[in-house]
Amino acid sequence: MNKKYRAKECYIHRKVADNDVLISVGANVANFNGYITLNPSASFIWDSLKEPKTADELTKLMTEEFEVSEDVAYSDVKNFLEMLQRNSMVNVYE
């Protein structure tokens, strides 16, 4: 069973003072006050989640975009997806 993940539309990815950040917008501002700073790989993963993707699909994209092994890419993807789920920032489809 491969879950698919998609970024919630109530967060936007912006460049602020040379930093990539996710900012809550709309009615969601009341639920999430502030922003999350993203490193380059997290920024890439977030942008890839505009359409539903599995962790395996994201891992493949990461190895194509960055010079990392599949194990490192999968670990980064897994950790970032877990953080997004904890903060209710992605929709998950079974």
pLDDT in tens, 53-69: 999 999 999 999 999 99
Specify if 93 maps to a domain.
no
Number of domains in the chain: 1
Specify if 13 maps to a domain.
yes
Quote the domain boundaries for residue 21.
Answer: 4-88
- The mean pLDDT of 70-79, rounded to a whole number, is 97
Angle between helix axes 70-86 and 55-65 (nearest 10 degrees) is 130
Specify if 94 maps to a domain.
no
pLDDT in tens, 6-53: 999 888 899 888 899 988 887 655 566 577 889 999 999 999 999 999
Specify if 72 maps to a domain.
yes
54 sits in the region (left: phi over 0; alpha: psi -120 to 50; else beta) called beta
pLDDT at 87: 84
Specify if 14 maps to a domain.
yes
